[in-house]
Amino acid sequence: MLDIELIRENPEAVKAGLTKRGMQTAIVEEAAKLDVRRRELLTEVETLKAERNAVSKEIGVMKEKTDREKKIAAMRSVGEKIDALDSELKEVDEKLNGIMAVIPNIPFDNVPAGGEADNQVVKEWGEKPEFDFEAKPHWDLGPELGIINFDQGVRVTGSRFYVLSGAGARLQRALIAWMLDLHIRQGYTEKYTPFIVKEVTVFGAGQLPKFKDNLYKDYEEDLYLVPTAEVPLTGLHMDSILEADQLPLRYTAYSPSFRREKMSAGRDVRGIKRGHQFDKVEMYKFTVPEASQSEFESMVADAEATCQALGLPYRLLLKAAGDTSEAAHISYDIEIWAAGCKEWLEVSSISLVGDFQARRAAIRYRPKGGKGTAFVHTINGSGLGLPRTLIGVLENNQQADGSIVIPEVLKTWMGGIDVIRPEAG
C-alpha cells in the first residue's frame, strides 16, 4: 500500500507510475479528493467535540436551571452533528481505504513501460541441450516412465491435477529438500509455516483484493489456502516492531500453493506446467530501506545459483511495468529452457517490494540512534517453483532410451538412484 502522503505531495509521480503500468489514473484523483474530505471531516469533528467538552464543563458549574437546559439542548444538537459527521467520516474512510488497497506500487525508473511483450532479456546462462534424437516433452516422458499419471489426477480431483509416482514423486521431494538446504547455506533460515491463513494475512501480503477470485477459501472459518509461502512469511511479523540490529531477516520455506487459475485450453496448460496445486520453495527478506537494493540483487543471484547448480539453461528477464507484480517496484523473472516442450518456462520471479507490504501488514523497525519507527522493506522470490523445475530436469536430462539422468546435486536425496528408467515407476 502506498503512503497517502505521496498522493498528497506528488500525485503526478503516482499517476506516472500507473501510466507506465498501462493503467488509468483517475483513481489517484479520486483518492486525493477523498483524502481532502476526510481531513475536513476530522477537523470539523474535532472542533465540535472540543466545543462540547468545553460547554459540558460550563454546564457542570452553572446554577441557573434555565440557562443550563438551554446549553444542554444546544449540545444535543452538536452531538447529532458529530454523529452525522462520524458516520460520513466512516464512509469516506472505507472508500479511501478501498481505493488505496488497489493502487499498485510505483515502478522504478529503470523498469520498462508496457506489458509482457516489453520484458527485457538481460542475461542468458548455459547452453540448450542438443540431442541426436527427437526430445520428448514431459507429458510423454512421464507416463512412459510411469512417474506421472494424468488420468489418476483427474479421477481423484479433476482437470489440471496429476499424480507423481515412484521415482517421480521422489525427484520432486529431492528438489524441494535440496533447494531448502541450498538456501540455508546461502544464509536463509528455514521456516515451516501454516498452509492456511487468515484474511488479514493475505491482505498484508498484497494478494487481496486483487487476486480474490483466484484464491481458495474456507468460507465457514474465513481462512484461505496459501497461494504462495510469501503470504505466511509476510505474516510472521505482522503488527510488530523489529530492532534494526535484527535486520536483515532472511527466510526460506516450502509450501504447496493453491490457485484457482483462470485457464484456457492450449499449449500453456498442457502437461504439468500450470495447475491449481503446485509446490514451491520461497525466499523472503525483511530489511532496512538502505539495504533493500543490495539484498534484492543478492536474492536474484541466489535464484540464479539454484538454476546453475541444476545445470538448467536460463534467461533473466527484467519485467516491464505492466507485467510486474502490483506490490513490486521491480521484478526479475528467471525462465529455464525445457528441451522437450521447446520453450522457456518461468521458475522464479524475484521482486523488490519496498514498504508496500509492510504498510499493509504494519511491520516496522526502530532505526539505530533514531527516534520513532519506520516501515521495513520486503523482498520475495521463488527459489525455485515446481513443477516447472521438475519439467526442466526431466526434459533436459532425457536419454535416447527414454530414461532420465539425475543431476549430480540431487543424487544424495534420491537414495542412490542415478537414472530413472521405465521400471522405476
First to last CA, the chain: 48
Q: Which pLDDT score, from 0 to 100, does residue 424 have?
A: 44
Return mean pLDDT, the chain.
92
β-strands 217-218, 223-225: how paired? antiparallel
Quick one: pLDDT at residue 260? 87
Q: Grid cell 520461497 — which residue?
A: 282
pLDDT digits (tens, 9 = 90+) for 16-31: 999 999 999 999 999 9
Q: How many helices (H) and strands (E) would you count in the chain?
A: 12, 18
Cell of 87: 458516520
Least confident of 79-83, 105-109, 380-384: 79-83
How far apart are the C-alpha atoms of 201 and 228, rounded to whole Å? 12
H or E element, residue 45: helix 26-61
pLDDT of 118 higher than 50:
yes
Class of residue 236 by CB neighbours under 10 A (exposed 0-12, middle 13-18, buried 19+): middle
Instruction: Answer yes or no: is pLDDT of 383 > 70.
Output: yes
Peptide bond into 248 cis (omega under 30): yes
| 62, 54 Cβ separation under 8 angstroms | no
8 Å CB contact between 228 and 263: no
- What's the pLDDT tens digit per position in 214-235? 899 999 999 999 999 999 999 9
Q: Mean pLDDT across the stretch 56-70? A: 64
CB 230 within 8 A of CB 205: yes
Bridge partners, residue 336, by sequence: 314, 345
pLDDT surpassing 90 at residue 159 = no
In the numeric block, which cell numbers belong to residue 107? Answer: 515502478
Residue 194: how many CA atoms within 13 Å on its side-chain side?
Answer: 12
Comparing 238 with 425, which gets the higher pLDDT?
238
Among the listed residues 361, 327, 317, 358, the one whose alpha carbon sits nearest the alpha carbon of residue 199:
361
Residue 374 pairs in a beta bridge with 365
What are the pLDDT digits (tens) for 187-217? 999 999 999 999 999 999 999 888 888 899 9
Q: Give the DSSP letter of residue 159.
A: T
Instruction: Walk me through the domains of the chain, giving residue ranges and CATH numbers.
Output: 4-100 (1.10.287.40), 116-424 (3.30.930.10)
* CA distances for 394 relative to 297, 403, 421, angstroms: 29, 9, 12
Instruction: Find the Cα–Cα–Cα–Cα dihedral 171, 176, 182, 184, rounded to 10°.
Output: -150
Is the pLDDT at 267 greater than 60? The verdict is no
φ, ψ of residue 69 in degrees (nearest 5):
-65, -35
| Each residue's pLDDT tens digit, 364-381 | 999 988 789 999 999 999
* % of the chain beyond a pLDDT of 90: 81
Distance (Å, whole) CA 257 – CA 276: 8
CA Rg, the chain, in Å? Answer: 27
DSSP codes of every residue in 197-219: EEHHHHHHTT-TTTTGGGS-EET
